Chains A and B, each alone.
Chain A
């Protein structure tokens, strides 16, 4: 019985690490750049496809791909914000109008990226086996690749948090998140910071995609399911809160694991039930302002 409980708990942590990584990027994009990026999952999909391509055609280790995929996605996100979202921000005059318009634009982006992926990689499912063997830890068996995924998810998330908390650039980002106008008056180049935040969000999504591709299938339509999970986690953790998203990811993973152990058919229902209850009871989330 004790082993079963430990098993469920650790399985939840394994999924939770992935969810946390997915959500941190979206939280960054919404919390600072004020873009509710519905196409967030498409960046995860791109990261997964980059990794699959590099592994399949160039035999590059998926973990090494992290250092290639991260900067590429950062650049894509940065350029996207500089071109698309900055124009929308200027034409909307900021505020709620920008949030609405940018969300609609990201819907469009979702279809553009998804269809581009279909044209490049085809619609069929891709995947590969990497570290696909069991690891026995005190009688409890875990997949090696998911343990590695959890480890890297925690390292990346903690490094990201330290970057925000300890560096000068991180301070500028936090200032922009609190009050962009005041941050601008204090000498922060707000356009650069917002574009960087969007780029960092895309980078986190890309890294999550790389790690996901080690354990899950890869296909052009995979993005939306991860976007939905990311939105639930971000709301659970508190809109715009990076530590909140991290904690929220683990909580969602644990809930999924517990429900799956009792009744697998209700695992996805549990996520949405949690989402609705949260919106009714504590709409600001765990660490939301």
Chain B
């Protein structure tokens, strides 16, 4: 009788122990640094702990649909930072009494959010990296935020962002937002529209977070500025033919055409506008237009006068040209490369100032201090979002092969071209 219950009892006991063992995870919140000792007696200085490098971990999209953005925008600037820091001998960390070189462990998430979060936890729990870097794009960043926060890891958010981040960032104290988006870009565009005397516009937006956010901000701004909005239409991702929309905008004879979409749709829209002879006075597009591959496809003449969000160039700050030379002008993302670089500089300087790799100490310094970066004096606001004053521009325009800042006026590097010149050969 007793024998009958022994095996089930043992199994239950093992399961019970395993369950409790699983629940007792080590504390993920880093302990505060110990207070320095004071007093008359001088204790011998304890030996510095051994460490020969700072290991950064990054999960990003090397393959899959997001690989385009990774390759054009984030990959080059991230790799450049590692090369640059190591050429300078590394980051000085007082706790170890020396400069430590930086090393990157990277994984491919195949553009899949589930894979990204799993690999991010692997970096933190198994690889035990010292710091993590952001994944590719806004959706990925939103998913990475809670994971990083759960483990008390700083997540510098240079790879994406949207206005809705403001709603969640309060609950994610380790998340820092670096990109500029619609809340600062659209008002600057509105000022530009008024200044140029735009009378009518047509708006097309992609059916996702980006498109909904930008159209939701742009349309009221246009109406507020007295611009007659002929139509607002949504398009799905992967649309193959935009000729019907372009012909409708052409028939409406609008002054401005706004395509608030991603590189795929923006390229389709530009090529079909060219093919159908649709050339309004102002054309502005979402991400992609400020990437070099866009200029490579259509040439300097093809992109002349096209606007996009951003923006920066060699004239933005004294340090900007040096960064462009390092990246190579053919590889620059004219929206976010300087913001990404500034984010990495802020992290580096915070580590140096903290003198430790303790996340909570570094986070506190990052959140409260002002740093000299490629943007000039740079700091986060009370919500850990890069302060709007630090942005180098909000609206850019291709002019003679250069992406010029044309809005807001106090950050402009050139006067806007209006109306947009004709397409090449037309």
Contacts and interface: CB of A to CB of B under 8 A. Distances in A.
B238 A122 contact: no
A257 interface: yes
Categorize the interface residue count of chain A. 35 or more
Given A126-B293, A257-B241, A132 B274 contact: yes
Interface of A: 7-8, 11, 15, 114-115, 118, 122-129, 132-134, 141-146, 215-217, 219-221, 225, 256-257, 260-261, 264-269
Contacts of B372: none
A268 B272 contact: no
Interface in B355-403: none
Contacts of A125: 68, 263-264, 267, 288, 293-294, 297
B241 A11 contact: yes
Interface in B208-263: 233-236, 238-245, 247, 263
B298 interface: yes
A19 to B, nearest CB: 9
A115 B267 CA distance: 23
A266 B243 CA distance: 15
Given A124-B72, A141-B247, A225 B238 contact: yes
27 contacts: A7-B247, A11-B244, A122-B71, A123-B62, A125-B288, A125-B297, A126-B293, A127-B271, A129-B274, A129-B302, A132-B271, A132-B275, A133-B274, A133-B277, A133-B425, A134-B426, A143-B275, A143-B276, A144-B275, A146-B275, A217-B297, A219-B68, A221-B68, A260-B244, A264-B234, A264-B235, A264-B242
A216 B238 CA distance: 11
Contact of B233 (A127, A133, A264): A264
Contact of B241 (A123, A126, A219, A256): A256
Given A7-B247, A114-B63, A115-B63, A134 B267 contact: no
A115 B425 CA distance: 37
Contacts of B294: 125
Contacts of B70: 123
Contacts of B293: 124-126
Contacts of A225: 238, 240
Contacts of B235: 264-265
A118, A125, A133, most chain B CB atoms within 10 A = A125
A187 to B, nearest CB: 45
Given A127-B297, A221-B64, 12 more contacts: A11-B241, A115-B63, A118-B63, A127-B298, A132-B274, A141-B247, A216-B240, A217-B268, A219-B68, A225-B240, A265-B207, A267-B239
A215 B269 CA distance: 11
B67 interface: yes
B63, B263, B423, most chain A CB atoms within 10 A = B63
B233, B238, B240, B267, most chain A CB atoms within 10 A = B240
A47 B202 CA distance: 36
Contacts of B425: 133
Nearest to B65: A221
Given A145-B275, A256-B241, A257-B244, A265 B236 contact: yes
A215 B241 CA distance: 10
Contacts of B288: 125
Contact of A134 (B62, B236, B276, B291): B276
Nearest to B238: A225
Contacts of A128: 297
Nearest to A114: B63
Contacts of B236: 264-269
Contacts of B240: 15, 216, 225, 256, 267
A178 B425 CA distance: 53
